[in-house]
């Protein structure tokens, strides 16, 4: 794999998809439909999926591609693949809350090793560079030339005053009960894969998810967190969350800085 080419391609496609999404987001109205699993989908999801899929297939035709919007066609037993959520946080998009992202990742041997997370409404862009180090880019986000980047790294947590981030749309009593097992100084809410990125930058120490997610929801954020020195573990046994599972569904998990003394459920 040419990681330099991969980084450039994923970054460019995420920015192009973000432009497409924001054109629809800023329109007076847009159609919202329900998929077979009752989750919402918009024309923005579909347009971004088409753009990213075409770009990845053109550049990396020999690598398997998994995307949320084409999930019904996936029946693959793979350990190495590209995986895409073209619009993660559709509910945030529909409610115009801004906490939605474009997620593109590479999974190798079941581990997300490279990824990009772009939050177009927030103006935040995170990705792994060719060496696997995670960075946040600032500036105007030119599509052909990367701007100034800052390496990001997880926090050195204070176990008596932890910072936690949890889902904005899916926080429930089980999540609160789990968070209450820690000494938490402050809690914040965020949508989509931005939660992984807040742990990756040290803005939060851990992110528990006691609810349904799919691999395309988490792979890019997981890759960014890996590249920032973090980890994502299954809550049942605190073993690493892996990818390429049958059906691409995830168990409950927790994303954190290594210094957090995690407890299973």
Distance CA 10, CA 19 (A): 14
| pLDDT for 28 | 78
What CATH number does the domain located at 3-151 have? Answer: 3.30.540.10
Nearest to 12 by CA among 56, 43, 49: 56
CATH topology of domain 162-256: D-Maltodextrin-Binding Protein; domain 2 (3.40.190)
Domain with CATH 3.40.190.80 in the chain: 162-256
Domain with CATH 3.30.540.10 in the chain: 3-151
162, 183 in Cβ contact below 8 A? yes
| pLDDT for 74 | 59
Which regions of the chain are under pLDDT 70? 34-38, 71-75
| pLDDT for 255 | 98
Annotated binding site for substrate: 68, 87-90, 217
- Which residues contact residue 210 at a Cβ distance below 8 angstroms, ignoring those fewer than 6 apart? 172, 174, 175, 178, 235, 252, 265
For 204-232, letters b (16+ CB in 10 Å) and e give bbbbbbbeebbbbbbbbbbbbbbbbbbbb
Annotated binding site for Mg(2+): 68, 85, 87-88, 217
Nearest to 134 by CA among 256, 247, 228, 60: 228
Annotated binding site: 68, 85, 87-90, 217
């Amino acid at each position: 794999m040419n990681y330099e080419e991969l980084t450039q391609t994923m970054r460019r496609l995420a920015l192009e998809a973000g432009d497409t999404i924001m054109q629809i987001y800023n329109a007076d109205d847009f159609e919202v439909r329900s998929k077979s699993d009752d989750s919402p989908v918009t024309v923005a999801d579909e347009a971004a999926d088409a753009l990213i899929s075409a770009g990845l297939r053109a550049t990396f035709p020999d690598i398997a591609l998994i995307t949320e919007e084409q999930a019904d066609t996936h029946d693959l037993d793979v350990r190495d693949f590209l995986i895409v959520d073209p619009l993660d946080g559709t509910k945030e998009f529909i409610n115009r809350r801004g906490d939605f992202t474009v997620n593109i990742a590479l999974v190798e041997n079941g581990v997300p090793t490279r990824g990009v997370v772009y939050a177009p409404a927030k103006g935040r862009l995170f990705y792994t560079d060719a060496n696997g180090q995670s960075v946040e880019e600032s500036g105007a986000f030119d599509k052909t030339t990367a701007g100034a980047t800052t390496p990001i790294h997880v926090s050195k947590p204070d176990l008596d005053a932890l910072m936690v981030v949890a889902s904005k749309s899916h926080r429930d009593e089980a999540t609160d009960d789990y968070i209450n097992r820690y000494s938490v100084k402050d809690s914040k809410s965020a949508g989509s894969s931005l939660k992984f990125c807040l742990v990756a930058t040290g803005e939060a120490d851990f992110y528990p998810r006691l609810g349904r997610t799919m691999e395309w929801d988490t792979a890019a954020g997981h890759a960014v967190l890996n590249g920032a020195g973090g980890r994502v573990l299954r809550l049942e046994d605190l073993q690493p969350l892996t990818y390429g599972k049958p059906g691409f569904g995830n168990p409950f998990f927790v994303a954190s800085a290594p210094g957090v003394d995690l407890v299973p459920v």
